[in-house]
Amino acid sequence: MKELNSVRFEFPSLSANEGFARGAVACFAAQLDMTLTELGDVKTAVSEAVTNCIVHAYPDDIGPVIMRLRILEGGELEIQVKDRGRGIEDVEKAREPLFTTGGEDRGGMGFTIMESFMDLVKVRSKVGGGTTVTMRKRVERRRMAQ
Amino acid sequence: MMRLTSSRQGGKLIFALTGELDHHEAGGLMGEMEERIESAAPRDCVLDLEGLRFMDSSGIALILKLYKRMNATGGRLFVANVQPQPMRVLDASGIDRMIDIEPSPAAGRQ
């Protein structure tokens, strides 16, 4: 699928950056004429993916979170959230609802929310080698900005 | 920025959350709420989300903890005035099957 626009940015895994990541994606996604519901879905999925990096990828230290956003031909938004943290041992298990290694403060609903709100969620992970989450959200073509 | 205010109405303690609730903001929130529950010893608790513009799954964890805290003393938790985005997150989590959740009358469900 042809790429129409893209942006890439990196920030340290500080929890204060969760709001920044949501806001940055919302600004970029404004080029697609999303409904408020679609925009809310995208912001929620980004918040979950970035929080996973902060809580699970770098539990004891601060590391880089790399985001790449792309607008694809046909009105699709692709969001990639990548870390160089400790990785996920069992990706299938991590994607199960209510599974968490984050204690009581995390509900284990992160991947469930991402999957409910996005059209596609791909997770690639290697223990000790980091995790990449790629998500896509389709926007109806008739609503795309000219 | 997240803001927490609380008030009493009969036997109920009402918490109102304003702003955006994520993992960063949820950090000290439960401890603060527990302290206020301890000192007010209410029968039931209401979580008023009229001013909550955004919530991710950190909000689900917070609501579940608040529900368990109230349940432990035989009290109930009501979640009221939920805006459309937080409502979608709560719907996706399925916790509306165990907790009394009311959408904001002004916003309704999308």
Strands B3-9 and B12-21, how do they pair?
A: antiparallel
Does the structure show a pLDDT above 80 at A99? no
Q: Is there a contact between A83 and A130 (Cβ–Cβ < 8 Å)?
A: yes
Going by pLDDT thresholds of 50, 70 and 90, the confidence category of residue A108 is confident
Residue of B42 and B27 predicted with greater confidence: B42
Interface of A with B in 2-41 (CB under 8 A): 15-16, 18-19, 22, 36-37, 40-41
Query: Is A49's Cβ below 8 Å from some Cβ in B?
Result: no
How many domains are there within chain A? 1
What domains are there in chain B, each with its CATH number? 3-103 (3.30.750.24)
Asked if residue A120 has pLDDT above 90, the reply is yes
CATH code, domain carrying A95: 3.30.565.10
Closest CB to B23: pick one of A43, A51, A109: A51
Per-residue confidence (pLDDT) for residue B28, from 0 to 100: 87
Which range has the worst mean pLDDT, A5-9, A132-136, B24-28, B36-40? B24-28
Please answer yes or no on whether A18 and B22 come within 8 Å at the CB atom: yes
For residue range B14-26, what is the model confidence (pLDDT) as tens digits?
999 999 999 999 9
What's the CA gap between B41 and B10, in Å, rounded? 12
Q: Which residue type, as a one-letter code, is found at position A110? A: G
| Residue-level pLDDT at A142 | 54
A46-68: per-residue pLDDT in tens?
A: 999 999 999 999 999 999 999 99
Q: Which pTM was predicted?
A: 0.91
Check residue A91 and give its pLDDT: 86
Which pLDDT score is estimated for A96? Answer: 79
Range of the domain at A63: 3-143
Better pLDDT: B107 or B65 = B65
Q: How confident is the model at residue A42 (pLDDT cuts 50, 70, 90)?
A: very high
- CA proximity to A48, closest of B62, B57, B24, B54: B57
